[in-house]
Amino acid sequence: MAYGRAVPGSVQSIERAAAILQVVAGSGGTLGVTDIAEAVGLAKTTAHSLLRTLLQVGFVEQDPATGRYALGVALLRLGSTLDTNELRARASNWADALAARSGHAVRLAALAGDEVVVVHHVFRPDDSAQLLEVGTALPSGCALGKVLRAHSHPHTGSRSGARSSAVATELAEVRARGWAADRVEHQPGVGGIAAPVRGAGGLVVAALGITGAQSALFDVRGTPRPLVLSMVTDAAHAVSRELGAPGA
């Protein structure tokens, strides 16, 4: 079977890449570039440049010793969402450090459908009575919710179509600057700051944030205090790096 000629209306290089992936998947990591080129009916140089691109995006891996190809980690992760328990295990040390340094309660949240659900919760380090909120849903207008909504796909959820332009503008801002703030969070006088956590594919998989007294988090004009803000964004960045996010 040869894939040298494109079906009208289709993109030839994608077809060829798909054929290569099928061959690699079927070979169990036993084929080099010559065998793959032969199997899909391409010139060796063409197969090689396609494989190089697939290598770059992580869809294939090459054994450095033998030069043979196997399916890559990024491909295997496609379509599988990050397990929230896995997310908590990987984020735990960074969440603890954020709570210890900032002196505020820390929450890690992810979207479950349209809901903003707490995946991990570290108490405010003052030993007062607090309840573990893991599994509970938060109002979508909190800082964590804003981060998650700003990065969610627009077609999820019926409400997205009805988003007011003010909300849309705010979410665009959240996307652009890499954090969200909420000056009136769960209770009066309490606010929140949150930043996105990215997974291995680079997509936002969760939001990490703190909640605390408004005066501790924001200055009189309502701008986040730089030190507190950098603690949150640094911690979110560290979790992203832990998850293998590109560039984190």
Partner 1 sequence: MPPVPERYVLAVDQGTTSTRSLVFDRGGRMVAVRQREHRQYFPRPGWVEHDPMEIWANTQRTAAQVLADVPGTGEVMALGIANQRETTVVWDRDTGRPVTRALVWQDTRTDELVTELAARPGAALVAERSGMAIAGYFSGPRLRWILDHVPRARERAEAGQLLFGTMETWLIWNLTGGPDGGVHVTDVTNASRTLLMDVRSCRWDPDLLAFFDVPAAMLPEIRPSVGVLGTATALSPALPITGALGDQQAALFGQTCFAPGEAKCTYGTGSFLLQNTGTELVHTRSGSISTVAYQLTGEPVHYALEGSVAVAGALVQWLRDGLGLISSAAEVETLARTVSDNGGCYVVPAFSGLLAPHWRGEARGLVAGLTSYVTKGHLARAALEATGWQTRDVVRAMAADSGLSLPALRVDGGMTTNNLLMQFVADALDTPVVRPMVGETVSLGAAYAAGLAVGLWSDVEALRRNWHRAAQWSPSPERARALTAEYPTWERAVQLSIAWGAP
121 binds partner 1 (CB under 8 A): yes
Using the rule CB under 8 A, which residue among 125, 157, 201, 244 binds partner 1? 125
120 sits in which H/E element: strand 115-122
130 binds partner 1 (CB under 8 A): yes
Using the rule CB under 8 A, which residue among 16, 68, 120, 146 binds partner 1? 120
100 binds partner 1 (CB under 8 A): yes
Shortest distance, position 179 Cβ to partner 1, whole Å:
23
Nearest to 144 by CA among 97, 171, 181: 181
Shortest distance, position 74 Cβ to partner 1, whole Å:
16
| Alpha-carbon gap, residue 180 to 177, rounded angstroms | 8
Q: Which is nearer to partner 1, 118 or 143 (CB)?
A: 118
Using the rule CB under 8 A, which residue among 46, 92, 140, 230 binds partner 1? 92
In 31-61, which positions are buried (b, 16+ CB within 10 angstroms) versus exposed (e)?
bebeebbebbebeeeebeebbeebeeebbbb
φ, ψ for residue 197, nearest 5 deg: -115, 125
Q: Which is nearer to partner 1, 23 or 245 (CB)?
A: 245
Q: Which is nearer to partner 1, 112 or 172 (CB)?
A: 112
234 binds partner 1 (CB under 8 A): no
Q: Are 159 and 197 in contact (CB under 8 A)?
A: no
Using the rule CB under 8 A, which residue among 15, 32, 35, 101 binds partner 1? 101
Q: Are strands 137-138 and 180-182 parallel, antiparallel or unpaired?
A: unpaired
67 dihedral zone (left: phi>0; alpha: psi -120 to 50; beta)? left
Contact residues toward partner 1 (CB under 8 A) are 83-86, 88-90, 92-93, 96-97, 99-101, 120-123, 125-127, 130, 132, 134-135
